[in-house]
Amino acid sequence: MSIILIPLPSFDFDPTETAVPWQILTGCDHEVRFATPDGKPAQADARMLHGSGLGPWKELLRADDNGRAAYASMIASPEFMRPLSYDQINIAEVDAIGLPGGHAAGMKTYLESHQLQATVAAAFTRQLPVGAICHGVILAARSRGADGRSVLHGRRTTALTRTLELSGWALTALWLGNYYRTYPITVQEEVTRALAHPNDFQEGPMALLRDSPTHLERGFVVRDGNYLSARWPGDAHRFAHEFAAMLDERV
């Protein structure tokens, strides 16, 4: 059994990118510990859960049945209800780190946390398995090693692609403004700037359908040593299964 730390912001994290990995990892008898800024249970992005304000694109953009069911189970779990605070994180007490994403404004406290960036950098230094999906890759990209470079410098990765990010924005900008634009530059652009070479960012095939327990092949992930990355909620099942396999390799 491994202990996996999943840090979250106080609110606005993506429900699928957090709950599906939690469900799969705990189903493999691993222990998941959550951490939030103040040690209180986090709240997911309600729009991604319920589809409010997504207009005609509600069923396309919100969490699907698999994601919502996993989320309902996760928020009832003791580990979710009793998270650590960021101040209580001790990297020596965990075996791996998972970094979920989310694009709404509340994610910024997580993405910009120097405490979390230092924790992620320490995980890379210790060669622990690190898995990041969607905007979670930004947190990894902002984490600096002893040489001052991003821990992703010299590694291959994926993340939320420019196409996916701008598609969500274009479909909803008329009434939601920049809800889908967390920062002025895209996730892909920021992450690529942290890499040794632009072609170390891998976009993968066109994301047309979400993966599922029975269709893992629809998901796309990139593995580079002890680091695993994925693009969006539609990759979450494959991402979680491959992360669990990485943990099994260390036993």
The CA-atom distances, in angstroms, between 1 and each of 4, 28, 31, 102, 244 are 10, 8, 7, 28, 10
What pLDDT score was predicted for residue 251?
Answer: 59
What pLDDT score was predicted for residue 208?
Answer: 85
C-alpha span between 231 and 229 (Å, rounded) = 7
- Say if CB 203 and CB 232 are below 8 A apart: no
Tokens for 96?
A: 């791996």
In this structure, is the dihedral angle defined by the CA atoms of residues 167, 171, 172 and 175, taken in order, positive or negative? Answer: positive
Residue 196 has what DSSP assignment? Answer: S
What pLDDT score was predicted for residue 75?
Answer: 97
Q: What is the mean pLDDT of each run of 10 residues along the chain (251 residues)?
A: 96 98 96 98 97 94 97 97 97 97 97 98 97 98 96 98 97 96 97 98 94 97 98 98 92 59
C-alpha span between 98 and 236 (Å, rounded) = 12
What pLDDT score was predicted for residue 250?
Answer: 74
C-alpha span between 109 and 122 (Å, rounded) = 19
- Closest by CA to 33, choosing from 73, 110, 71, 90, is 90
Q: Give the DSSP per-residue string, 99-161.
A: E----SGGGHHHHT-HHHHHHHHHHHHTT--EEEETTHHHHHHH-B-TTSSBTTTT--B--S-
- Closest by CA to 122, choosing from 105, 145, 138, 95, is 145
C-alpha span between 16 and 102 (Å, rounded) = 9
Q: Rounded to the nearest 10 degrees, how much is the dihedral formed by the CA atoms of 52, 48, 121, 228? A: -160
- Closest by CA to 74, choosing from 152, 13, 156, is 13
* pTM for this prediction: 0.96
What pLDDT score was predicted for residue 175?
Answer: 95
What pLDDT score was predicted for residue 84?
Answer: 97
C-alpha span between 191 and 212 (Å, rounded) = 27
